[in-house]
């Protein structure tokens, strides 16, 4: 579990640096990227960080925007022959996500809508949430934020979160079982997609400003 003191330090850094943007009249949102392999705890950490920033600021200045909303539809993946590999980079609408990140960054006075992935139906819901003009801090969360350089280059702060391989394996098996897969199918998914994805995103970890182990804390 990530320590509260680590969360507090990162929160203070975000608010300080976003404040400099305001002070210097830089007309852009402050983008934080939380990346790492499947099962590392990115969603949990991003939500905790958003809550912490908003609590310290005493207003809702931050919003989480997950990359998962840009999963391609299952029907499209079936046509592409990639449904069994859902989760690899080619199964996302990369261009759509890049366009969203650019709009979030460069249009701080506008309300920007974004899709949200619903695991219960394994599909994205278009325009399900939004970032408003009163939210100058956006916490992007997803596997490939550093792997896709067009995204990476727009981040103001990059956080890489990981966990030991055995812990990731256990978490991912549990996730797939909860999603309705049987034990063998869950293992096959972890070994065919999730673990190779971990190796891919690990190749970009040196792009991060901060490294976190969700089982320990900052490292």
Q: What is the 3-state secondary structure (H, E, C) of 151-164?
A: HHCCCCEEEEEECC
Q: Which residues of 52-84 are buried (b: 16+ CB within 10 A; e: fewer)?
A: bbbeebeeebbbbbbbbbbbbeeeebeeeebee
Average pLDDT over residues 178-203: 90
Q: Is 116 helix (H, G, I), strand (E, B) or coil?
A: strand
Residue 181 has pLDDT above 50, yes or no: yes
Radius of gyration of the CA atoms of the chain, in A: 17
| Four-residue CA torsion sign, 55, 56, 59, 64 | negative
pLDDT tens per residue across span 146-172? 999 999 999 999 999 998 888 998 999
pLDDT tens per residue across span 27-61? 899 999 999 999 999 999 999 999 999 999 999 99
Between the alpha carbon of residue 177 and those of residues 21, 49, 100, 122, the distances in Å are 45, 28, 32, 14
Q: Of 42, 40, 52, nearest to 5 (Cα)? A: 52
Q: Give the model's pLDDT for residue 219.
A: 39
Average pLDDT over residues 132-145: 96
How far does Cα 149 stand from its chain's mean position? 15
Cross-strand partners of 32: 139, 157
Cross-strand partners of 86: 88
Q: Give the model's pLDDT for residue 154.
A: 96
Residue 137 has pLDDT above 60, yes or no: yes
Q: What are phi and psi of 83, to 5 degrees?
A: -60, -40
Q: What are phi and psi of 31, to 5 degrees?
A: -105, 125
Q: Give the model's pLDDT for residue 178.
A: 87
Q: Give the model's pLDDT for residue 26.
A: 63
How far does Cα 135 stand from its chain's mean position? 17
Q: Is 70 helix (H, G, I), strand (E, B) or coil?
A: helix
Average pLDDT over residues 122-144: 95
Q: What is the DSSP letter of 3?
A: -
CB 140 within 8 A of CB 50: no
Residue 19 has pLDDT above 90, yes or no: no
Q: Of 98, 5, 19, 17, nearest to 48 (Cα)? A: 5
| Band of residue 122 on the pLDDT scale cut at 50, 70, 90 | confident
Q: What is the pTM of this model?
A: 0.90
The domains located in the chain, with CATH, are 4-218 (3.40.50.300)
Q: Please, how many CA atoms are within 13 Å of residue 139, restricted to the half-sphere of its CB? A: 25
pLDDT tens per residue across span 56-109? 999 999 999 999 999 999 999 999 999 988 989 999 999 999 999 999 999 999
């Amino acid at each position: 579990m990530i320590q509260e003191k680590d969360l507090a330090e990162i929160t203070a850094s975000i608010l300080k640096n976003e404040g400099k943007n305001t002070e210097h009249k830089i007309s852009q949102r402050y983008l934080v990227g939380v990346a790492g392999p499947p099962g590392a705890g990115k969603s949990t950490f991003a939500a905790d960080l958003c809550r912490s920033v908003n609590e310290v600021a005493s207003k809702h200045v931050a919003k989480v925007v997950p990359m998962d909303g840009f999963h391609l539809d299952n029907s499209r993946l079936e046509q592409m022959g990639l449904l069994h590999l859902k989760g690899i980079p080619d199964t996302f609408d990369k261009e759509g996500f890049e366009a969203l990140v650019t709009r979030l960054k460069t249009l701080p006075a506008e309300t920007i809508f974004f899709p949200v992935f619903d695991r219960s139906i394994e599909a994205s819901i278009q325009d399900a949430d939004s970032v408003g003009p009163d939210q100058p801090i956006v916490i992007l969360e997803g596997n490939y934020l550093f792997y896709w350089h067009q995204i990476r280059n727009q981040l103001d702060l990059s956080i890489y979160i990981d966990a030991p391989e055995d812990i990731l394996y256990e978490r991912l098996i549990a996730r797939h079982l909860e999603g309705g897969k049987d034990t063998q199918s869950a293992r096959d998914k972890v070994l065919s997609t999730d673990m190779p994805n971990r190796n891919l995103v690990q190749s970009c970890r040196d792009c991060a400003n901060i490294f976190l182990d969700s089982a320990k804390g900052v490292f």
